Amino acid sequence: MNHHSKNTIKNNLKIYNSLTKKKDIFYPIYPNHVGMYVCGPTVYNHIHLGNCRTFIFFDIVYRYLKHLGYQVKYVRNITDIGHLFSENNELEEDKIIKRSRIEGLDPMEIVQKYTIYFHESLNILNVLRPNIEPIATGHITEQIEYVKKILCNKFAYEKNGSIYFDLKNYSNHFLYGRLSNNNIKELMDRNFLFSKEKRDIKDFCLWKKAKKNHIMNWNSPWGKGFPGWHIECSVMSTKYLGGYFDIHGGGIDLKFPHHECELAQSTSFFNKKNDLSRYWMHVNMLNINGEKMSKSKKNFMYPSHIYENFKISSNILRFFMLQTHYRSILIFSNKNLLDAKKNYNFIINSINKLNNVKFHKDIISYDFIHQWIDDCYNAINDDFNTPLLISYLLKGSRIINDIIINNKKNSLYLLKKYINYFMFEILGFKKNKEETNNYKKKLEILVQRLINLRKEYRIQKNWEVSDKIRKELNHIGILINDHKLLK
RNA sequence: GGCACGGUGGCCGAAUGGAAUAGGCAAAGGUCUGCAAAACCUUUUAUAGCGGUUCGAUUCCGCUCUGUGCCUCCA
């Protein structure tokens, strides 16, 4: 009665594709190989919780594809150039340059500093590193070559040392707006600073001429300048994954214009209809107080805020994010975070109990356990429905408790095997390791001695002193939960 | 103005053309207990509104109300 053969599971993964606007069965271009590109951060600031959501989600995608036996090439870029910051339609300045001015550091020091923070933040969240992490400024030559080809194909034009994408000519040959369903004519006109140079107000920049005081600039056939925002992703994805790969992802706010422009650039580059990626995936936003958490709205929180202010671990933050489906808006609130904590602890406690129980490998197979395993796989296979999967993991935990408490003979072996797969391998929770820090270890011993001391007082029924010790420990965040005293 | 995704109990959050068995939190009750807490077990409550299609709609279609996001800074 074993329903969950690996191939059946593998052939039933459905992914919501922003390009086709429906759930498509996942099959890669080359059997057993998956190429995945995810738009990474611009490293001019710390990453906040909203950014983390996207990277945690694609970590699940990466982990699950590997679990299914695919060889995955995961590429996630670092943007260290090209994002212009506009204020009141007055000034345009590279975000990294602006930040370097504020902090009094060299632009490349800013890049280095926030790249390190980015990696550290994701490490703490147990997000796996991609296979390739290309950096935009490391691919200037390739970007220039790419722009040259688009120019050569007549889908771009030069004006005063800058290169703009020719949307009008593009529209004559291809459809612009396939991802977002946006019709160029229906888009709102805004006054852009560059608009004087552009043939059409909605043309976007491929290469921008550097002003005299613009520190980050490179030589090009069109003079000193720097690449536009969208070009780096087209170039680096094509370089490392080819002109057509399996999955392209990012936050939903990148769908338009960023991904739409990438699609247009790629089509112009090859001069033929091209999807760039077979599946396009977009993660919805994290909302706080009814609106999107973003750097520009200044309503963001960093992961470190959460660990400190809510006294929760990175595992619980991760769990919190996975309790909402990735295509839904995730609402940040104190209560939701505490719900996540309780649920997470419930599952982990059950797993810990399993580790303390001795059992033999099952001989009999139990149908309901197999059903439970199928349910779990079906959940994750249905467009990565992590909230549904978590509900099954909670159910599994309850089954474990029931078996252990009532001393039932049952299929603990399979339960243990699969709940571990789902929690640690696929959902990517960190297994608690022994603390290696020596100083911390001594503190732990001290606390343990206090607890033992208190136990002696309890045996003597000296409630006054034992309650006082418990209170003191509670003050510093160590919770004591008493059990019945053994005689 | 255009485009996209939503509206399910007190709250969060799944699913579905055929009795709402999701799940969790909260609440209530219980086990346990020196007390407190924790842990574990059990139970209650819901498809925004109006039409249409249908034997049957929460699900599909249309309209209304309403929320969020994108429209060249954004994960």
Please say whether the beta carbons of A453 and A469 come within 8 A.
yes
Tell me the average pLDDT across A279-290.
Answer: 93
CA–C1' distance A16–B52 (Å)? 29
Closest residue, CA to C1' of B12? A336
Q: What is the per-residue pLDDT across A402-459, written as a single tens digit (0 to 9) for each?
A: 888 777 766 788 889 999 999 999 999 998 764 445 667 777 788 888 888 888 888 8
Tell me the average pLDDT across A113-132.
Answer: 96
pLDDT at A459: 85
pLDDT at A365: 66
CA–C1' distance A367–B65 (Å)? 48
| Average pLDDT value for chain A | 88
Strand stretches in A222-374, DSSP E: 225-227, 245-251, 277-283, 286-288, 291-292, 330-332
pLDDT band for position A487 (50/70/90)? Answer: very low
For A278, the 3-state DSSP assignment is: strand
CA–C1' distance A454–B34 (Å)? 14
CA atoms within 13 A on the CB side of A173: 17
For residue A357, is pLDDT > 90? no
CA–C1' distance A406–B36 (Å)? 28
Phi and psi based region of residue A332 (left: phi greater than 0; alpha: psi -120 to 50; beta: remaining): beta
Tell me the average pLDDT across A87-93.
Answer: 49
Non-local CB neighbours of A6 within 8 Å, separated by 6+ positions: A68, A69
User: How far, in whole angstroms, is CA A400 from its chain's centroid?
Assistant: 31
Q: What is the per-residue pLDDT across A160-170, written as a single tens digit (0 to 9) for each?
A: 899 999 999 99
CA–C1' distance A329–B25 (Å)? 19
pLDDT at A35: 97
Highest mean pLDDT among A205-214, A304-313, A342-351 belongs to A342-351
| Nucleotide with C1' nearest the A253 CA | B70
pLDDT at A392: 95
CA–C1' distance A374–B69 (Å)? 35
pLDDT band for position A361 (50/70/90)? Answer: low
Distances (CA, A) of A129 to A63, A67, A263: 11, 16, 26
Cis peptide before A257 (omega within 30 of 0): yes
Which DSSP string corresponds to A370-401?
HHHHHHHHHHHHBT--HHHHHHHHHHHHHHHH
Percent pLDDT > 90 in chain A is 60
Kindly report which listed range (A12-16, A353-357, A380-384, A461-465) carries the lowest average pLDDT score: A353-357
For residue A32, is pLDDT > 90? yes
pLDDT at A2: 47
pLDDT at A88: 40
For residue A240, is pLDDT > 80? yes
pLDDT at A301: 92
pLDDT at A43: 93
Closest residue, CA to C1' of B15? A388
Tell me the average pLDDT across A114-131.
Answer: 96
Q: What is the per-residue pLDDT across A192-218, written as a single tens digit (0 to 9) for each?
A: 545 578 888 888 899 988 888 788 899
pLDDT band for position A363 (50/70/90)? Answer: low
Closest residue, CA to C1' of B2? A186
pLDDT at A447: 84
Non-local CB neighbours of A85 within 8 Å, separated by 6+ positions: A91, A92, A93, A94, A95, A98
Kindly report which listed range (A85-89, A108-112, A154-158, A437-441) carries the lowest average pLDDT score: A85-89
* Chain B bases near protein Cβ (<7 Å): 1-6, 11-15, 22-26, 32-42, 67-75
Tell me the average pLDDT across A127-142.
Answer: 96
Q: What is the per-residue pLDDT across A242-275, written as a single tens digit (0 to 9) for each?
A: 999 999 999 999 999 899 999 999 999 999 998 9
Nearest to A468 by CA among A484, A485, A480, A483: A480
Closest residue, CA to C1' of B72? A257
Amino acid in position A351: I
pLDDT band for position A314 (50/70/90)? Answer: very high
pLDDT band for position A354 (50/70/90)? Answer: confident
For residue A87, is pLDDT > 50? no
Kindly report which listed range (A74-83, A236-245, A399-408) carries the lowest average pLDDT score: A399-408
